[in-house]
Amino acid sequence: MTGSTMTGSAAAGTGAGTAAAGIEAAARLYQAGRMAEAIDTCRAVLAVEPRQPEALNLLGVALFSAGQDAAAREALCEAVRSDPLSPATLTNLGIVLQHRREWPAAARTLRALAALQPEAVTAASRLGVVSQETGDLDGSVRFLRRAAHLVPDASVQWYNLGLVTMLTGNMAAAARALRQAIAIAPDGASAQGQLGQTLLRLGRLDEASRAFHRALRLDPSAFDPTIGLARCGRYRTASSAARASESKTGSKAAPEPGLAVRGALESATGYGYFCQRFIRTLRQRSVPLQAIGIFGHESWKEENLDPPVPAKALVNFLIPLAVERVPGLATVTYTMFEGTRIPPAWRRQSEHSDLVIVPTESSRMAWAAQGFPEDRLRVCPLGVDPEDSDGGSGVPTLVDPRGRLVSSYRHRFINVSDFIPRKNIDGLLRVWLRATARGDDTVLILKLGKGNNPAFAAELGELVLRTEAAVGKRMADAAPVVLINQFLSDADMAGLLRAATHYWSMSHGEGWDLPLSKAGALGLSLIAPRHSSYMDYLDDRVARLIPASVRPAGLPYSTEHYAPFHGLDWWDPDEDAAAGILSAIIRGDDSGRPSARDHLVQGFTWARAAERLLAILDDAGLR
């Protein structure tokens, strides 16, 4: 951080001279690392001259160094109010706000600094970081490019520019920035490794391999170049098999058409789940497969799917930014999106895909709305699992916070979600507070996250407090909520779903809601917003649907963007309508309990999903 701006001369007057002497003394204490004494000395100056800007600035710096972020912020804000044209104070306040993750305020402060010092690299570089955190990736690239041109011989500026440019989907520009970083600092192992990752996305396999080898020579313990080389090896064998297969086409020895697929072979994510389900179903149809994991070194555990097969395409069950191209193979991306329009970065990287396959019409429209060519878009719905994929699991014994068995409640609602703003947990809790009372014969089972977020309790606690304040009612005065925050196997998840009578979503958008569709297949009554993927597999005959309207994607109780959806829209479920649906169920006033079970189990099978996927590839001549 920048320290106090010292003039080296005493100001006129006895009071000013005393203040200057005190500030100089505080600065010496700060530089000596004696923070407590520096803080006391600054406060002594301010007791005499409360708005002295240099004393406020140095106080803020010392407080920040002592770990008192909130007090540092207050002192530096006062310093800026006292002297709004001080570059040192603006720099320090920007750093504190950035550290506290107050992104909009940090951006305003750093923009003011950039206006005062347009040729200084600090504001441009930090604005690049702040813009990235808010999701404004294109803005981040502009600031980081400016920082790199202001200090063209600083390798770190080009490296940072390369990393963020990768996130925008402009891989060629990212490679140029990383090469510039390497030209300035040839011993940078990280830059070599990132260059390899970028080149793989461009399909330049040999160049990527050389970059990974250089990175490992510089840092033999580096993990990313190691797994990068593993993928290079898998891609080479797949590419060679494709060339060999092409040479045999039309001969009596022509091999049966197969597929190379890449995805999360070992992941508990949604993408991992449907990738694994597709592979199992295709193998049941005896389709020759080569399965390549995200990192490259993973193997399909159920049988040997490592060897290459005759294939024309690599099917990626991944988001577009994770897709890597393989020479000689067409690039197919099976993915989805949860808003009305995909991010510009996804649009840029999707350009490298010969086909983009999505599970619902909602996702197809999101790609088309961002200008992706519709003749390269296809829809292939996912399957729904009525069975327990791990062989069956019993219903767990759950007890609510008041000691009552969950199974004893007449109406048992459940929601399974990652703890992220898109899932609209704040909206769900607001509706629960409004629609239920302490004495109601109902309970909410809330399964949030996978137990791997150390800040979960604090973040949820803050969200609950804000929700109680917004509604004007405490959670203790509503029906009970049973909270589960841990990883569950597929079988345990099925058992948990069976503990409920209703599955209820208030999500702002879904590419395909796996827990809800599973719950419907198990016979639970479904309540969901009338938007996004829900419209492809639900209707008023089989579910209670909540009206929804489009609005900008933002954070709960904030005007800030939700970073992954920066500048994009999603849907806002009508909370009055949702509260009415819940109240009718609890009071027994609704018109019955629709079931989606037969509709989902018969209409959305994994066998049908696999057949549709193969038909899409056959029609495109990619198998």
How many structural domains does the chain have? 3
Examine residue 235 and state whether it is found in any structural domain, yes or no. yes
Residue 165 in domain = no
Shared domain for 369 and 263, answered yes or no, is yes
DSSP 78-97: HHHHH-TT-HHHHHHHHHHH
Helix, strand, coil % in the chain, rounded to nearest 5: 50, 10, 35
Q: Is the pLDDT of residue 451 over 90?
A: no
Residue at 514 is within a domain? yes
Are 331 and 432 in a shared domain? no
- In this structure, is residue 214 part of a structural domain? no
Q: Quote the pLDDT of residue 2.
A: 46
Element (H, E) at 550: strand 548-552
Single out the residue of 119, 183, 127, 133 nearest to residue 154, CA to CA. Answer: 183
Torsion 234-236-239-241 (CA) sign: negative
* C-alpha span between 110 and 248 (Å, rounded): 62
Residue 44 covered by a domain: yes
**Residue found by looking up tokens 């069956």 in the block:** 392
Query: 236 and 362, same structural domain?
Result: yes
Can you tell me the distance from the alpha carbon of 571 to that of 548, in angstroms, rounded to the nearest whole number?
A: 6
Q: Which of 85, 100, 118 is the last residue of a domain?
A: 118
Mean pLDDT calculated for residue range 157-175: 97
Does any domain span residue 527? yes
Residues 61 and 75 in one domain: yes
Of 88, 118, 148, the last residue of a domain is: 118
Domain range holding 438? 406-604
Whether residue 434 is found in the same domain as residue 378: no
- What's the pLDDT tens digit per position in 75-84? 999 999 999 9
What is the Cα–Cα distance from 257 to 259, expressed in whole angstroms? 7
Q: What is the pLDDT of residue 12?
A: 33
Report the CATH number that the domain containing residue 444 is assigned in CATH. 3.40.50.2000
Taking residues 3-9, what's their average pLDDT?
Answer: 33
612 and 591 share one domain: no
- In terms of domains, do 554 and 468 share one? yes
Tell whether 140 is covered by a domain: no
**135 assigned to some structural domain:** no
Say which CATH number the domain at 82 has.
1.25.40.10
Query: Could you tell me the pLDDT band of residue 15, with boundaries at 50, 70 and 90?
Result: very low
**Claim to verify: residue 375 and residue 506 sit in the same structural domain:** no
Element containing residue 378 per DSSP (H, E): strand 377-379
Residue 443 and residue 300 share a domain: no
Same domain, 267 and 315: yes
Collapsing DSSP to helix, strand or coil, 554 comes out as strand
Mean pLDDT throughout 465-469? 98
The pLDDT value given to residue 251: 53
**Average pLDDT for 544-553:** 97
Do 516 and 532 sit in the same domain of this protein? yes
Higher pLDDT pick, 585 / 2: 585
pTM of the model: 0.90
Beta pairing class for 548-552 and 544-546: unpaired
Residue 389 clears pLDDT 50, i.e. is over it: no
Alpha-carbon distance of 407 to 399, in angstroms, equals 8
Is the pLDDT assigned to residue 13 strictly greater than 80? no
Same domain, 111 and 1: yes
